[in-house]
């Protein structure tokens, strides 16, 4: 019998014969409440928090919940294959870990632990520019496992050029350029606690170790760390960028480029016109524009506009296996997972991240099978009940 992601449930039940139960919940929507109880208020507030009153983060969940799956019967789902081709790479499942910076606020092993967990499960790891560990050290922890680099496309061209060179040399294969964080949004939960990881020197490691960044400082980081933090805050985002600037990135990166944070079909078309390879339909987990369209509501429109020209990926609000299924049905090729793996890291290090990946994919595998499908590619809009808001 072929091995399936769903087999994880029997592993759990068999371990139960020795009295063992999972250390973390298997319903991943419960991780946040556990993290709120167990982790320090500043860090957990930063991760769980959103822009404004949190309406976009809630809308992300509500939009996914509004869609309902219509299972089909007697379709021989005994043998299933979750592997998916994304940007020329064969992935074991339609999943990657989203770029999340500052992971040291969650666990001392930070990005290395998350990256090792991704590598152990064969899932691509997308390393944030704002990681608390220099990219070369994360790459070393991963061996030759699949890794992508997320760029904060800031004001200093030399730093961008240097990041691209370092990422390529360290074996990162896909460039994910985040467009929705040119400025840090209004985040009341962090403001009320006056807590921002960067001010504590977390999330600046790629910058502080970068020769081009260091060249822009009046005094070395080690002599004046506060000035270095201010310099970072001044340059990590650039609200002055516009579409023609993408030519610079296309010129300096010869692998696939994916734009993250696209919500409007016209922006997706502009991405295709600019020679990009993909988009991530995302509202940054509701952390940037309060009152924004839910990512799952934007997804079918973007997929209809560019699905034949670009690889369409999705994040923001994915918590369960059925969310993954719905995202595929709405037009995504694969999804990125954000906060759940970060809570897994905070609560149980690398093992916690692996638990989260395995639960999500076991539940997705079961949803797929029980709905009458054997592979991600066969899931389309016809697998969903008509949208009551249409
Ligand atoms: C604590 C935290 C830090 C993040 N840092 C980054 C980042 O450095 N770069 C980036 O492109 N996105 C970042 N994101 C956004 C995620 O990549 C992703 O879009 C989002 O978490 C998806 O929504 P979800 O958390 O609802 O799954 C961050 C998200 C969180 C929660
Ligand atoms: C503001 C960024 C540097 C980090 C981020 O993307 C986030 O906190 O959502």
CATH number for the domain spanning 360: value is: 3.20.20.70
- Give domain status of residue 381, yes or no: no
- Measured in angstroms, how far is the CA atom of residue 285 from the centroid of ligand 1? 6
Report the mean per-residue pLDDT for the chain.
98
- Does 238 score more than 90 pLDDT? yes
Average pLDDT on 76-83 reads 98
Ligand 1: residue whose CA is nearest its atom 7: 100
DSSP 8-state secondary structure symbol assigned to residue 99: P
Pocket of ligand 2 contains residue 287 by CB under 6 Å: yes
Active site residue 355: no
ipTM > 0.95 (yes/no): yes
Of 161, 157, 112, residue with least CA distance to 135 = 112
- Give domain status of residue 201, yes or no: yes
- Does 390 score more than 90 pLDDT? no
- Give domain status of residue 62, yes or no: yes
pLDDT of residue 349: 98
155 by Cβ neighbours in 10 Å (0-12 / 13-18 / 19+) ranks as: middle
- Give domain status of residue 61, yes or no: yes
- Measured in angstroms, how far is the CA atom of residue 286 from the centroid of ligand 1? 9
Average pLDDT on 94-115 reads 98
Residue 275's φ and ψ, nearest 5 degrees, are 85, 20
Domain extent, residue 300, equals 5-67+84-374
The tens digit of pLDDT for each residue in 195-222 reads: 999 999 999 999 999 999 999 999 999 9
pTM, entire model: 0.99
| C-alpha–C-alpha distance, residues 315 and 150, integer Å | 14
- Give domain status of residue 199, yes or no: yes
Whether residue 355 is annotated as binding a ligand: the answer is no
Average pLDDT on 158-183 reads 98
Out of 45, 181, 282, mutate this one to test ligand 2's pocket (max ligand atoms within 8 Å of CB): namely: 181
Binning pLDDT at 50, 70 and 90, where does residue 1 land? low
For strands 174-178 and 147-152, give the pairing: parallel
| C-alpha–C-alpha distance, residues 57 and 286, integer Å | 4
- Residue 3's SS3 state is coil
The total of structural domains in the chain comes to 1
Whether residue 338 is annotated as binding a ligand: the answer is yes
The minimum-distance atom of ligand 1 relative to the CA of 337 is 27
Pocket of ligand 1 contains residue 316 by CB under 6 Å: yes
- Measured in angstroms, how far is the CA atom of residue 213 from the centroid of ligand 1? 24
- Does 40 score more than 70 pLDDT? yes
- Does 319 score more than 70 pLDDT? yes
- Does 61 score more than 80 pLDDT? yes
- Give domain status of residue 389, yes or no: no
- Measured in angstroms, how far is the CA atom of residue 46 from the centroid of ligand 2? 9
pLDDT of residue 130: 98
Whether residue 229 is annotated as binding a ligand: the answer is no
Contact indicator for 143, 116 with CB cutoff of 8 Å: no
Average pLDDT on 364-372 reads 98
| C-alpha–C-alpha distance, residues 76 and 372, integer Å | 8
């Amino acid at each position: 019998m072929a091995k399936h992601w769903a087999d994880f449930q029997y592993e759990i039940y068999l371990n139960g014969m020795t009295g063992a139960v999972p250390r973390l919940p298997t319903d991943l929507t419960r991780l946040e409440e556990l993290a709120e109880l167990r982790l320090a208020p500043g860090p957990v507030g930063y991760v769980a928090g959103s822009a404004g009153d949190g309406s976009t983060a809630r809308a992300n969940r509500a939009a996914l919940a509004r869609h309902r799956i219509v299972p089909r019967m007697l379709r021989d789902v005994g043998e299933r294959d979750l592997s998916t081709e994304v940007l020329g790479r064969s992935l074991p499942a339609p999943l990657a870990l989203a770029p999340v910076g500052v992971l040291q606020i969650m666990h001392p092993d930070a990005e290395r632990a998350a990256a090792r967990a991704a590598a152990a499960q064969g899932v691509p790891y997308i390393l944030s520019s704002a990681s608390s560990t220099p990219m070369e050290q994360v790459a070393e922890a991963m061996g030759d496992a699949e890794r992508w680099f997320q760029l904060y496309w800031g004001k200093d061209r030399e730093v961008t050029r240097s990041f691209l060179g370092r990422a390529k040399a360290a074996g990162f294969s896909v460039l994910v350029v985040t467009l929705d964080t040119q400025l840090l949004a209004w985040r009341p939960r962090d403001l009320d606690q006056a807590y921002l990881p960067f001010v504590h020197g977390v999330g600046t490691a790629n910058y502080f170790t970068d020769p081009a960044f260091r060249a822009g400082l009046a005094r070395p980081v080690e002599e004046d760390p506060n000035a270095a933090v201010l310099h970072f805050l001044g340059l990590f985002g650039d609200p002055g960028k516009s579409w023609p600037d993408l030519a610079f990135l296309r010129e300096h990166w010869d692998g696939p480029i994916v734009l993250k944070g696209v919500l409007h079909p016209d922006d997706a078309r502009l991405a295709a016109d600019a020679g990009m390879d993909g988009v991530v339909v995302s509202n940054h987990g509701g952390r940037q524009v309060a009152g924004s369209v839910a990512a799952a509501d934007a997804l079918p429109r973007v997929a209809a506009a560019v699905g034949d020209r670009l690889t369409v990926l999705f994040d923001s609000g994915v918590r369960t296996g059925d969310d993954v299924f719905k995202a595929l049905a709405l037009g995504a090729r694969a999804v990125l997972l954000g906060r759940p793996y970060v809570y897994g890291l905070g609560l149980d290090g690398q093992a916690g991240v692996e638990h989260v990946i395995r639960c999500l994919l076991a539940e997705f595998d079961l949803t797929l099978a029980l709905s009458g499908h054997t592979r991600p590619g066969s899931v389309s809009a016809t697998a969903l009940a008509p949208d009551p808001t249409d």
